[in-house]
Chain A
Amino acid sequence: MTGVMARVGRITINTLVVVGGMTTLLGRILRSLFPLRCDARETWRAFYKVGVKSFPIVILTALFTGAIMVIQSGHYVHKTGATSLLGWAAGFAVFAEIGPILIGLMFSGRVGANNTAELGTMVVTEQVDALRSLAINPTAYLVAPRFLAMTVMLFLLTAMGDLFALFGGAVTAKFMLDVPVWIFLQQVMDAQLLDEYLLGLVKGTVFGMSIAVVSCYYGLTAQGGATGVGRAVNASVVAAAIGIFVTDFVVALMWGIL
């Protein structure tokens, strides 16, 4: 019995340490942003890298997500014959929940993991210490630009991705359910899903921030050479996934209350 309690206690303490560390990091990031003190060159580079890396795979994922949602909704539609609800059901699922989550998870893998790997390698090869020894603030130089780039990019990707998902859904509706593309799109418009779309955008932005903080945290605390970097990336993507779901919950709850 004490064994289990000890384990639970240890896990709790470890979790608190990690959460505490991330909160501290977030604080330092915000101090580098208000007033704006982060390195301009690094920020542009970050935007470019994040955008180029993530765009293709996120858009593809979004297309497929839309298609999958239509197929799944199609089951009910076929059973009840209520083809008129297809656009509403698929649109609602994509905008409010599945779109942001899948786009967020893909982004976390493509950009978050990569970020942790990069920062982790820099830490392990003492390049971060070198920055500090040159009296250059690593948070302002390395972390804040990435935070900005990832937050803005995921917002944009969610905004665009949702639309690509609709497109994927429309094409699938045509080929698998014989619902013409324009009818499907019309249904989505009629469903008045602006609220859900905006909710999705807020989620996307918050996901971007949490993925940025998590990935930078695990990168900066990497230790132990190549093995350490691998482990840091592993821990980072797991924590980022949990972060996505937890923030999803918080945003959904707050949105529901307001």
Chain B
Amino acid sequence: MTAALAAWIDSSVRTWDLLRQTIVWILRGALRRRRRQVLQQLYEMGNRSVAFITVTLGILGMISVFQVLKQVEKIVPDFSMIGPAFIQMMIREFGPTIAGLMIATRVGSGIAAEIGSMVVTEQVDALRMCNADPVDYLVVPRFVACGIQSVMLSVYGVLVGVLAGAVTAYLFWNVPFETFFRLDLVQWGDIASGLLKAMCYGLAIPVISAQAGLETRGGSEGVGTSTTRAVVNASFAVVVLDLILSGFSYLVLF
């Protein structure tokens, strides 16, 4: 038990260190040098995740509205507030967080699998031999790209989810689109909170996953283990960050 705890603490310390190293490299101008890799990662993380986000957040939007309307219909058949409330929740919470979890799943495991394979095939060592720092070369582009794409995908996810919800409300309960698409309840605080969450998730996920990838030991079993660890730790980090940021924005607003 204590051995596992010690290993966990050790890993966490090294993850924070990786974050520090990444930021230091960026401040030293790594972005200008790594522009091509950043663009490559932007495409890999963004464009290639669009279908995934569409399906997951679309379905989430549909089910949420479906279940809420079913419940509300029993209590008070006034559907006018459902749209605005739903939109606000999506912007503030579900859009960024579910998108964040999906990114942790897809991008997180992808980064760990990629870097892990490179460790196992000694490509990372080869980088070091060529005096190229793995953090500069591998982590920085992914860090920047994921931070950006997390925000973009969250915004996209909110749009998809809201649209899906509106269609559901219209199809099953004849709620007109004008009634649904009202931004009455949305405040700047909600938008800021959502964007901040998305960005934090987007910065945490690549660092955690890259650390898991770099710590890979052993052959195929090792790569499997670190990929798993990346998904778990990145997803959990999203949940923890969600709690902290939700609490923070609540306290700030009230």
Contact = CB atoms under 8 A, between A and B. Distances in A.
A–B contact via C-beta, under 8 angstroms: yes
Interface in B121-151: 121
B66 A113 contact: no
A233 B102 contact: no
B217 to A, nearest CB: 12
Nearest to A75: B250
Interface in B81-112: 85, 89, 92-93, 101-102, 104-106, 109-110, 112
B113 interface: yes
The dominant DSSP class at the A interface is helix
Interface residues of B, number: 53
Contacts of A228: 220
Contacts of B93: 68, 72
A31 to B, nearest CB: 28
Task: Say whether chain B's binding surface is mostly helix, strand, loop, or mixed.
Answer: helix
A252 B228 contact: no
A245 interface: yes
Nearest to A72: B93
A102 interface: yes
A125 B101 CA distance: 32
B196 to A, nearest CB: 15
Contacts of A130: none
B243 interface: yes
Given A68-B246, A233-B109, A97 B66 contact: no
B236 A61 contact: yes
Interface residues of A, number: 53
B247 A233 contact: no
Interface of B: 52, 55-56, 59-60, 62-64, 66-67, 70-71, 85, 89, 92-93, 101-102, 104-106, 109-110, 112-114, 116-117, 120-121, 219-225, 227-228, 231-232, 235-236, 239-240, 242-243, 246-247, 250-251, 253-254
Interface of A: 57, 60-61, 64-65, 67-68, 71-72, 74-76, 78, 92, 96-97, 101-102, 105-106, 108-110, 113-114, 116-118, 120-121, 124-125, 176, 225-231, 233-234, 237-238, 241-242, 245-246, 248-249, 252-253, 256
